[in-house]
Amino acid sequence: MSLISTVAAVVGLLASVSVADVPADCRVNEIKGSWLVRRGPGNNDNTITCNENSDVASRDVIQMSLLYPNIVSSAEGHEGNFTLVYNQAFEAYIDGVVYFAFVNWEKTPDYGDVSSIFHCGQTMTGWYHDYDGSNWGCFKAQKMNANEAHIVKEIKKPPVKAEDLPSPADDANGAVDTHADFVQRINAAQNEWQATEYEPWQEEQLDAILKFRTSHGAPDTTSYERTTTDADYFERRQRLLPKVENGENAAISLVVPDTNSRISLAQSAYPESFDWRDVDGVNYVSPVRNQDKCGSCYAFAAAGMLEARIRIESNNALQPVLSPQEVLNCSPYTQGCSGGFSYLVAGKHAKDFGLVEEDCVPYNGAENECPADKYKECTRWKVSHYSYVGGYYGNGDEEAMIKELVENGPMTVGFEVYPDFKAYKIGVYSHTATDPKRSTSDFYEIVNHAVLVVGYGVNETTGTKYWTVKNSWGPWWGMDGYFNIKRGSDEAQIESMPTSATVMLP
Compute φ and ψ for 249, nearest 5 degrees: -110, 20
Amino acid (1-letter code) at residue 168: P
3-state per-residue secondary structure call for 223-266: CCCCCCCHHHHHHHHCCCCCEEECCCCCCEEECCCCHHHCCCHH
What is the predicted pLDDT for the residue at 229?
Answer: 31
Contacts of 285 (CB under 8 A, 6+ apart): 276, 277, 304, 307, 308, 311, 410, 454, 470
Which of 233, 228, 163 shows the shortest CA–CA distance to 437?
163
What is the predicted pLDDT for the residue at 441?
Answer: 55
CA 429 to chain centre: 20
Sort 188 into a burial class: Cβ within 10 Å, 0-12 / 13-18 / 19+: exposed
What is the predicted pLDDT for the residue at 22?
Answer: 72
Report the residue count for the chain.
506
Compute φ and ψ for 154, nearest 5 degrees: -120, 135
Q: Which residues on adjacent β-strands are paired with residue 119?
A: 104
User: What's the rounded Cα separation, in Å, for the pair 356 and 119?
Assistant: 35
What is the predicted pLDDT for the residue at 25?
Answer: 86
Which of 88, 93, 95 shows the shortest CA–CA distance to 23?
88
Which of 56, 69, 57, 64 shows the shortest CA–CA distance to 35?
64
User: What's the rounded Cα separation, in Å, for the pair 295 and 211?
Assistant: 14
Q: How many C-beta atoms surround the C-beta of residue 145 within 10 A?
A: 13
Indicate if 471 belongs to the active site. yes
Which domains are seen in the chain, by residue range?
28-143 (2.40.128.80), 272-504 (3.90.70.10)
3-state per-residue secondary structure call for 356-419: EECCCCCCCCCCCCCCCCCCCCCCEECEEEEEECCCCCCCCCHHHHHHHHHHHCCEEEEECCCH
Virtual CA dihedral for 296, 298, 303, 304, nearest 10 degrees? 110
- From residue 311, alpha-carbon distances to 340, 345, 406, 503 in Å are 25, 19, 14, 10
Amino acid (1-letter code) at residue 284: Y
Out of 70, 329, 471, 484, the active site residue is 471
User: What's the rounded Cα separation, in Å, for the pair 87 and 104?
Assistant: 12
| C-alpha R_g of the chain | 22
CA 458 to chain centre: 25
Out of 297, 330, 395, 448, the active site residue is 297
Residue 418 near residue 210 (C-beta atoms within 8 A): no
Sort 63 into a burial class: Cβ within 10 Å, 0-12 / 13-18 / 19+: middle
What is the predicted pLDDT for the residue at 156?
Answer: 63
Out of 119, 129, 179, 449, the active site residue is 449
What is the predicted pLDDT for the residue at 115?
Answer: 55
Q: How many C-beta atoms surround the C-beta of residue 136 within 10 A?
A: 21
Compute φ and ψ for 352, nearest 5 degrees: -75, -35
User: What's the rounded Cα separation, in Å, for the pair 410 and 114?
Assistant: 38
What is the predicted pLDDT for the residue at 209?
Answer: 33
What is the predicted pLDDT for the residue at 165?
Answer: 52
DSSP sequence for 416-475: ---GGGGGEEEEEE---S-PPP---GGG-----EEEEEEEEEE-TTT--EEEEEE-SB-T
User: What's the rounded Cα separation, in Å, for the pair 92 and 101?
Assistant: 9
Sort 266 into a burial class: Cβ within 10 Å, 0-12 / 13-18 / 19+: exposed
Compute φ and ψ for 354, nearest 5 degrees: 90, 155
Q: What is the pLDDT along the chain (506 residues), one digit of tens a residue?
A: 333 333 333 333 333 333 346 778 898 989 999 999 999 999 999 999 999 999 998 999 999 999 999 999 999 999 999 999 999 999 999 999 999 999 998 766 554 444 578 899 999 999 999 999 999 999 999 999 988 888 877 766 544 443 445 555 444 444 445 778 888 999 999 999 999 887 543 333 333 333 333 333 333 322 222 233 333 323 333 332 233 333 333 333 333 333 333 344 544 689 999 999 999 999 999 999 998 888 899 999 999 999 999 999 999 999 999 999 999 999 999 999 888 999 999 999 999 999 999 999 999 989 999 999 999 999 999 999 999 999 999 999 999 999 999 999 999 999 998 888 888 999 999 998 744 555 555 668 889 899 999 999 999 999 999 999 999 988 989 999 999 999 999 999 999 999 999 999 98
Angle at 407 between CA 237 and CA 349, to 5 degrees: 75
Beta strand ranges found along 272-382 (DSSP E)? 274-275, 355-356, 380-381
Q: Which residues on adjacent β-strands are paired with residue 244?
A: 253
Indicate if 449 belongs to the active site. yes
User: What's the rounded Cα separation, in Å, for the pair 100 and 382?
Assistant: 18
User: What's the rounded Cα separation, in Å, for the pair 128 and 139?
Assistant: 7
- How does strand 424-429 pair with strand 482-486? parallel
Which of 488, 495, 486, 478 shows the shortest CA–CA distance to 430?
486
